[in-house]
Amino acid sequence: MNLKQLEYFVHVAELGSFSKAALVLDIAQPALSRQVRALEIDLRETLLLRNGRGVVLTEAGQRLFEHGVSILQAVAQAREDMGASRDEPVGRITIGVPPTIGRQLTLPLIDGFKRRLPGARLAIVEGLSTHIVEWITTGRVDIGLLYNPEPQPGLEITPVLEEPLCLVARAADAGLPNGPLPMRALAGLPLIMPERSHVIRRLLETQAVLLGLKLDIAWEVSSIASIIDLVCAGYGHAVLTASAVAASGRADELVAQALTEPPLSSVLCLAVSAHKRPGPLMRHGTRLLNELARSLPQATAAQSRPG
């Protein structure tokens, strides 16, 4: 076992896919598969199981993953400390992003690191904001993008982008007026929502209680991509940001109308550990992520309904 094999394995495990890891590592997928297989042979363990959506860790793989993250973080910290005196951004950094913007940010992040931080290694992981908070706290993630985080003493939080929340409906459907909608317009509409831990669900339910409004949660689905597929298939409506609609690739099938009275918005924030001394790589990485997040393409907050 060597550090390169361990790094390759951790990337595949974090991203859940050989193809995504090959893109981040800038190597051919067959070469990546051979390195991970060599690691499995050396350890006499099956570490990853392939399925139709990517790979999952075995029990042995989970144990090695936890060791691997700690080892790579220690190596990255040593490199960063050695480069700190020269203000060189070297080492390994892990960035956590929400699934709604992961697809939009992955390629620009990799391009930015290759051009501006060639001495650094980058890992990108996707997760809900609640998970990313936990990962920053435990040291698995160095920098995270979060939606509507609650103040915590262990985090330094910087607002980056504010977006209105929108009622998302199938463009072929009719029945609601054009333009922005009061939140009371949600009454009686079948809603497709994430689980209760999701920040948008919590925000929406809190405002509904204050208004005395009963929401009809018809379907509870964790994946934003699946929620959009269900809306397009006519199973109900969703409440999402315009950028989530834009990132879905199905914006031409949907109508997004901003919610008002009260206006609801989702704030994207950048978060780092308050207990970790930022070195050159952290400073440069944070600056790059901030720039890219502020330039995210967004759909129009309120679109007109056809007809």
Distance between CA atoms of residues 164 and 265, nearest Å: 4
Which residue is it, tokens 């993953």? Answer: 65
Q: Distance between alpha carbon 189 and the CA centroid of its chain, in Å?
A: 28
Pair 74, 269: CB distance under 8 Å: no
Helix, strand, coil proportions of the chain in percent (round to 5)?
45, 25, 30
| pLDDT confidence of residue 188 | 85
| pLDDT confidence of residue 181 | 83
Measured CA distances, 198 to 98, 143, 146 (Å): 11, 20, 11
AA letter at 171: A
Sequence spans of domains, the chain: 1-82, 162-266
Burial class (CB in 10 A: 0-12, 13-18, 19+), 78: exposed
Q: How many CA atoms lie within 13 A of 86 on its CB side?
A: 8
119 three-class SS: coil
Pair 37, 1: CB distance under 8 Å: no
Q: How many CA atoms lie within 13 A of 167 on its CB side?
A: 26
| pLDDT confidence of residue 185 | 86
Pair 117, 144: CB distance under 8 Å: no
| pLDDT confidence of residue 87 | 60
Q: Which two tokens stand for residue 44?
A: 């006499």
Q: What is the mean pLDDT of each run of 10 residues along the chain (307 residues)?
A: 90 88 87 92 91 87 90 78 63 86 86 88 85 87 88 88 87 72 87 83 86 89 87 91 80 86 86 84 89 70 35
From the list 283, 258, 252, the residue with the least C-alpha distance to 270 is 283
Q: Decide the pairing of beta strands 155-170 and 143-147.
A: unpaired
H/E stretch holding 207:
helix 199-211
Fold of 1-82: Arc Repressor Mutant, subunit A (1.10.10)
AA letter at 273: S
From the list 226, 241, 233, the residue with the least C-alpha distance to 300 is 241
Pair 49, 60: CB distance under 8 Å: no
CATH (one of 3.40.50.150, 3.60.40.10, 3.20.20.300, 3.40.190.290) for 162-266: 3.40.190.290
105-123 burial: b if 16+ Cβ within 10 Å, else e: bbebbbebbeeebeebbbb
